[in-house]
Structure 1
Amino acid sequence: MFSIHWGYQPLHYVETLDYANVVLTFVFTLFCLLVAYIMFREYREGPLLIQKNREVMHSEVSAKIEGGSLDITSMLTSASALGALVYFPFANFSSLNTWIIGNVTSQVLWVLQYFEIPAYMKAWNMITLNGYTVEIILACTAIESIALFMGLIGAVKAPLNRLVMAFIVSVPVIYVLNLIRDIFVVVAYGEQWFGADSFIIAHNYIAKAGSGVALFIISYAVLKILPELLGMIDGLWVILSEELKYLLRRFARD
């Protein structure tokens, strides 16, 4: 399901000239397909477990997982399911979609007007400044990043106080930083800070780079609070590496 969903996204980003997201969504589609293949192999051969020495092994029965082993795909499945529960309702139910986009639009406009920037709401999801209009869409709400972090945090077995702290340093921070990002794009485009290509430069390059840096810092903070996530990430890397080697060996023999 994820590979199908993300497989369609590059077409949208090509239309908006957002080539960074074209690459990211394409890579993520391949990642989802590889994970699906790994899960299919697990269905046939048993769960893949990561031992303390980072050795990958198949367990015939999930219940045989030992204390020193990590069932990475189960953790990844939990993270994906939780993330999907957060993201897909907003993506597929028009009432929730309209609600979150409308809220973000209103909040961005409120901040602009608070600082006496002469912007106004042209439509329920459009903000105009000096005759230049920016449309707020679902991707402008940060719901994708929020869903990602909520899924990862929810998939980790850790004390509740650390889970809550990880949530606080990620989800609310992402939401606020996204509002700042949207405000920057509206002002940069409305004031034509970068000339005729102000929107593309502000949205596709500067805001994208800023978002990347912010997510890196937030990820670091979450990992400091939940070091258990490192085990899942490291285990996922080991499994993906081993499965890629396995596939390459099969193709080489064929």
Structure 2
Amino acid sequence: MIEWFIYLAFLAFSIFLIPGRHKKYAAAGGWVFLVAGFLTEVPEYMTLDNILYPALAFLSLPFLAITLWNIFRDNSLVFQLSRAAAVAMLIFMPFTFVPLLRDTLIATVVDQAVWLLNALNYHTDLRAWNILFRNGYATEIILACTGITAMAIMLGVAAGSARITLKQGLLAVLIVVPIIYLLNILRIVVVFIAWSDQWFAFLPDPTGTSEFGPGYASFFWAHNVFMELLSVVVLIGIAFVLFRIIPDLAVFARDLTQLYLDGIRSFVKWLESTCRAQSVM
């Protein structure tokens, strides 16, 4: 079901990029469809024992409420954020729409991950064109494993700046794409070695399931905890580099953060006043 929501979000954000009085409605639709798609994936994330994405999915609800409120108040910060989301989707969606692009990217990532594994003397076989196999453990590489989502988001953030220059844009691409791509290859390699060599077998398996085979704790801790946290740190680091290259982005990030913090405070105050009114009654 998420595919339909993503397609609708892509359509809405694409329409948003077209000048006209419809922009606020297109932006609102884009965010609603995007968050709805995110929420529909929560059960899937839970079956995969992913901690980060379900948390982000639920946090997206207050984010959506504040975003919609400010869209219909013609807030320029939220329009800039919507432009960033639109650009990110324009970068990402061709890899979803075009099987040749998707499969080529996955195959390239798989080939380079296998090359690095073998170069490090962790000899790895392919059970299929996108399935790594070693020591009886297998890992399937899908589009989400290629780093394209993170690249699209970071490039969208950079392109969202209203006053970005060609030089700044090129520098952003040269920083974002190679760094995320190479670090993602390294992430795949480390997770696969941790999984196939059972690095974290001494840690508990919080899933309490054998659905993915014995020794799943190593994969869980390597992929769903340590590498997820490290990925967040890396993206924050890249964001700070982009702030140095495109100073307007730093101002935008500061003002946008303040906007959402103010929105949360306003909601809390409204909730408190409502509760007090109810208690008086």
Q: Which category of TM-score, normalised to the shorter sequence, fits these structures?
A: 0.7 to 0.9
Asked if residue 178 in structure 1 is aligned to residue 173 in structure 2, the reply is: no
Superposed CA deviations along residues 7-36 of structure 1, whole A, max 9, x for unmatched, are 223222111101122112322354234313
Match in the other structure for 2:250: 230
Q: What is the deviation of 1:250?
A: 5.3
Q: Is the 8 A contact 1:101 1:137 kept in 2?
A: yes
**TM-score, normalising length from structure 2?**
0.73
Superposed CA deviations along residues 128-163 of structure 1, whole A, max 9, x for unmatched, are 011100111222111121111110111111332222
Match in the other structure for 1:87: 92
Match in the other structure for 2:196: 190
Secondary structure in 2 matching 1:169: helix
Name the amino acid aligned to 1:118.
Answer: H
Secondary structure in 1 matching 2:126: strand
Q: What is the deviation of 1:108?
A: 0.8
**TM-score, normalising length from structure 1?**
0.81
Q: What is the deviation of 1:249?
A: 5.4
Select the residue among 12, 36, 39 that pairs with 1:4.
36
Name the amino acid aligned to 1:182.
Answer: I
Q: Is the 8 A contact 1:2 1:32 kept in 2?
A: no
Q: What is the deviation of 1:97?
A: 2.8
Q: 1:107 to 1:33 in 2, by over 3 A?
A: farther
Match in the other structure for 2:108: 103
Superposed CA deviations along residues 207-251 of structure 1, whole A, max 9, x for unmatched, are 122212222221221111112112211222233234444545555
Identical aligned pairs, as a percentage? 26
Asked if residue 28 in structure 1 is aligned to residue 69 in structure 2, the reply is: no
Q: Which runs of 5+ in 1 are unaligned?
A: 49-70
Match in the other structure for 1:160: 166
Select the residue among 17, 22, 27 that pairs with 2:49.
17
Q: 1:214 to 1:238 in 2, by over 3 A?
A: closer
Distance 2:64 2:96 in 1: 19
Secondary structure in 2 matching 1:170: helix
Asked if residue 207 in structure 1 is aligned to residue 239 in structure 2, the reply is: no
Superposed CA deviations along residues 77-101 of structure 1, whole A, max 9, x for unmatched, are 2101001111233234444332322
Distance 2:65 2:37 in 1: 11
Deviates more, 1:220-229 or 1:233-242: 233-242
Match in the other structure for 2:69: 37
For the aligned residue pairs, the C-alpha RMSD in angstroms reads 2.1
Match in the other structure for 2:15: none
